[in-house]
Amino acid sequence: MIIKTRFGATADGRAVDCFTLSNTGGMEVDLITYGATVNAIRVPDKAGAFTDVLIGFDTVAGHEQYSDYQGNTIGRYANRIAGGVFSLDGAEYHVEKNERGVTSLHGGGELSSAVWQALIVDDNAVEMTYVSPDGAKGFPGEVRFCVTFTLHEDNALRIDYKAVTDKKTVINMTNHAYFNLAGQGDILGHTLKVNADAFTPTDADSIPTGELRPVAGTAFDFRAAKPIGLEIGAPDPQLVQCRGYDHNFCLNAGDGPAAELYDPESGRLLQVFTDLPGIQIYTGNFLDGTRPGKGGAPIIQHAGVCLETQCYPNTPNMPDFPSCVVEPGQPYATCTVFKFSVR
Ligand code: GLA
């Protein structure tokens, strides 16, 4: 079932709608058209009690004033492009350097701050579309973005990303939800499992150095589930520099979950499935309690963990990374599933 309500309006007066999807088990997902955002996910714990497991905001103003991309759809290029520059077929493109004037982060925030058109396409699915003009934030091609959110009876939220371009371009879309399976406190006691034998270490600007570093013997080894907080304070320069995990993991091939997040207290389990090559694990290191989130509660450090399925960061400048180039006539199409259960 889907219920549509008016969520609010942007500061410049654009209406923002909310679509609440529910299944027969009672799971609910709130989607808002600002940023094609997953704004809330209410799922049961092992005793059957429902809690919202997303950190974020109750209002459009919250998103506009305090956002660290909470729940947003991200693009055109999720994560970073070094120096805000890349080349395609010999042409150099300069894209918005919205991170300290040094790097391009999340496509300059274009998709995450747009108000998307929404359509109920099935009794459990909403499609959101947004057309980005040629040259937006410096990226080539007019691109028609389409994100379809489907809530299944088995408590899986499926997100299908599609994009059609009229010029050769680069695309990397993700969702930036901050999960907290307890719905409160921090996520350091959650266990995490990531199906990755390697990760991409970064420089001081959070740009991958190009090395694919084996996780074996490092704090980045999540091949067996372990608490996120267990080694987050280890004296690994990669962790120190980012105040925790903020890294792309190179996913191993296979059909199983890319990642599993589990809260032993509530018993809630989140399994992430994707066809993409990477996943950014960001443990909310730079959240600092100064911004009010849902219910006015401060968003504290490590309040949530992002599981951002993606192409590797800075792929447009890294010929050895799996390609993110999209051509006319060959639409971009990827899928990520967030499946909830209890254990
Ligand atoms: C964004 C990025 C994260 C992290 C933070 C740092 O949210 O998506 O990976 O780098 O910025 O504030």
Q: What's the gap in Å between 281 CA and the centre of ligand 1? A: 10
Residue 277 pLDDT: 98
- The pLDDT, as a whole number, for residue 54 is 98
Of all protein residues, the one whose alpha carbon is nearest to atom 10 of ligand 1 is 246
Nearest-atom number in ligand 1 for the CA of 69 is: 7
Written as tens digits, the pLDDT of the chain (343 aa) is 999 999 999 999 999 999 999 999 999 999 999 999 999 999 999 999 999 999 999 999 999 999 999 999 999 999 999 999 999 999 999 999 999 999 999 999 999 999 999 999 999 999 999 999 999 999 999 999 999 999 999 999 999 999 999 999 999 999 999 999 999 999 999 999 999 999 999 999 999 999 999 999 999 999 999 999 999 999 999 999 999 999 999 999 998 999 999 999 999 999 999 999 999 999 999 999 999 999 999 999 999 999 999 999 999 999 999 999 999 999 999 999 999 999 9
Backbone angles phi, psi at 152, to 5 degrees: -95, 165
Task: Among 206, 248, 279, name the best residue to mutate to test ligand 1's pocket (greatest count of ligand atoms within 8 A of Cβ).
Answer: 206
CA-nearest of 122, 184, 153, 177 to 22 is 153
Distance 48 CA to ligand 1 centre (A): 33
The structure tokens listed for 48 are 């059957």
| Residues 338, 270 contacting (CB under 8 angstroms) | yes
316 CA distance to ligand 1 middle (Å): 19
What amino acid is encoded at 170 in this protein? V
Going from the Cα of 173 to the center of ligand 1, the distance in angstroms, rounded, reads: 15
For ligand 1, pick from 99, 243, 247, 282 the residue to mutate: most ligand atoms within 8 Å of CB.
282
Query: What is the C-alpha to C-alpha distance for residues 227 and 109, in angstroms, rounded to an integer?
Result: 31
User: What pLDDT score does 229 carry?
Assistant: 98
Q: What pLDDT shows up at residue 264?
A: 98
Alpha carbon of 184 to ligand 1 centroid (Å): 21
Q: Which pLDDT value is given to residue 123?
A: 97
What's the rounded Cα separation, in Å, for the pair 250 and 227?
20
Q: Distance, CA 199 to ligand 1 centroid (Å)? A: 17
Which residue has the CA at smallest separation from atom 6 of ligand 1?
A: 286
- In short, whether 246's Cβ falls inside 6 Å of ligand 1 is yes
Tell me what pLDDT residue 13 has: 98
Q: Is the CB of 103 under 6 A from ligand 1?
A: no
Indicate if ligand 1 lies below 6 Å from the C-beta of 4: no
Q: Is the CB of 286 under 6 A from ligand 1?
A: yes
| pLDDT of res. 285 | 98
For atom 7 of ligand 1, the residue with the nearest CA is 68
Testing ligand 1's pocket by substitution, the residue of 103, 174, 246 carrying the most ligand atoms inside 8 A of its CB is 246
**pTM for the whole thing?**
0.98
Residue 249's nearest CA partner among 293, 310, 300, 186 is 310
Closest C-alpha to 192, from 269, 278, 140, 252: 269
206 lines ligand 1 (CB under 6 A): yes
DSSP string, 15-84: EEEEEEEE-TT--EEEEETBTTEEEEEEEE-TTS-EEE-EE--SSHHHHHHH-S-TT-EE-SB-SEEGGG
Please tell me if the CB atom of residue 99 comes closer than 6 angstroms to any atom of ligand 1. Answer: no
2-342: CATH, from 2.70.98.10, 3.30.450.40, 3.90.220.20, 3.20.20.80: 2.70.98.10
- Nearest Cα residue to atom 2 of ligand 1: 79
